[in-house]
Structure 1
Amino acid sequence: MSRIVRLVVPALALLACAAYQPAQAENWSLYKHYNYNKLEFVHSHPFAKEHTVIQVSQADPKRWTLVLNNASNLLNYFGPSNVQIVIVAYGPGLKMLFKNSKVADRIQSLNSEGVEFDACHNTMLGFKKKLGHLPKLVDSAAVVPGGIVRIMQLEAHGFRYIKP
């Protein structure tokens, strides 16, 4: 085996392993490096003039639809590059972000338009006690240490708070 093949093949295998991570691992992006004093987002919105955080704390699919309609209406009114929307789910509302949620497809669609979906880690731990495992979330969900803490952080940085 040539020296190049001996060097390239292991390097390619390492890259392939690094590139493959289960979707659930992606959910932890904000949780691992969370700093209350430093804002971090899944989607960059450098030109946004409006910043909104929407709370979801109820396990009610009608409420979820209302929340997603609110986000769609904001995107339509201001335009995706002019508004930053973060939807924070905690308590029973976390079920909205479950992979098998009735609104999972719509969440993926709004995520592609720049809406961020944050999931409360504290609530996830509560579900882990009930289910015996962490709930599987939609791929676009970002886990934050606490839903209330995230809302407080965003409000402290000028986000407008909406609770439909």
Structure 2
Amino acid sequence: MLVSLNVLAAQEPPLPDTFAEHKIVMQISDPNPFKQTLVLNVAGNLVKYYGSTNMDLEIVAFGPGVRLMLEGNVNTPRIKALMATGVRFSACENTLTNFAKILGKKPKLIEGIDIVPAGAARIIQLNEAGYKTLKP
């Protein structure tokens, strides 16, 4: 029975094998649309400043911040544009499970967003791999 439960759990994406000079993880855990927009603004500014080849950036959402990554979000075009530059987005499976309890079904994410078992743990893993955390 444990084996089948593990198969259903979100698989942790592997840590990026990157030679980027700047490794950054950004946290979004706030439901405030202003803060969510700020995270996207900062990400866009970092891409412009460092260039996508000199920087590896992952935006990790957990708690109410996951709303930023839900399908149909007003920021979907901006998220897709950042993805096109190589920015990665990860959403917390724990949060999605809690949303499902409230909504009666799991919400859909914007296509291309990874699901990680625990958003906070993902940030810790990336920190341990040399990433610096930004929380605008």
Q: TM-score, normalised by structure 2?
A: 0.89
Aligned-residue offset at 1:64: 1.2
Q: Which whole-Å CA distance do the structure 2 matches of 1:119 and 1:147 have between them?
A: 6
Aligned-residue offset at 1:128: 0.3
Structure 2 segments unaligned to the other structure (5+ residues): 1-9
Give yes or no for the alignment of 1:143 onto 2:115.
yes
Structure 1 segments unaligned to the other structure (5+ residues): 1-30
- Residue 132 of structure 1 corresponds to which residue in structure 2? 104
Give yes or no for the alignment of 1:77 onto 2:52.
no
User: Deviations along 1:46-94, whole A, 9 cap, x unmatched?
Assistant: 4411000000001111111110111111111111110000000000000
Give yes or no for the alignment of 1:154 onto 2:129.
no
Structural mapping, 1:39-118, within 5 Å = 39-41=14-16, 46-118=18-90
Q: Percent identity?
A: 39
Alignment coverage as a number of residue pairs:
127
Secondary structure (helix, strand or coil) at the match of 1:138 reads: coil
Secondary structure (helix, strand or coil) at the match of 2:23 reads: strand
Q: Which whole-Å CA distance do the structure 2 matches of 1:108 and 1:153 have between them?
A: 25
Q: Which whole-Å CA distance do the structure 2 matches of 1:83 and 1:99 have between them?
A: 26
Find runs of 4+ consecutive structure 1 residues off by over 2 angstroms: none
Give yes or no for the alignment of 1:122 onto 2:100.
no
Q: Rg larger in 1 or in 2?
A: 1
CA RMSD of aligned residues (A): 1.3
The answer to whether the 8 Å contact 2:59/2:88 transfers is: yes
AA aligned to 2:59 is I
Secondary structure (helix, strand or coil) at the match of 2:108 reads: coil
User: Deviations along 1:116-157, whole A, 9 cap, x unmatched?
Assistant: 000000000000000011011000210000000000000011
Q: TM-score, normalised by structure 1?
A: 0.74
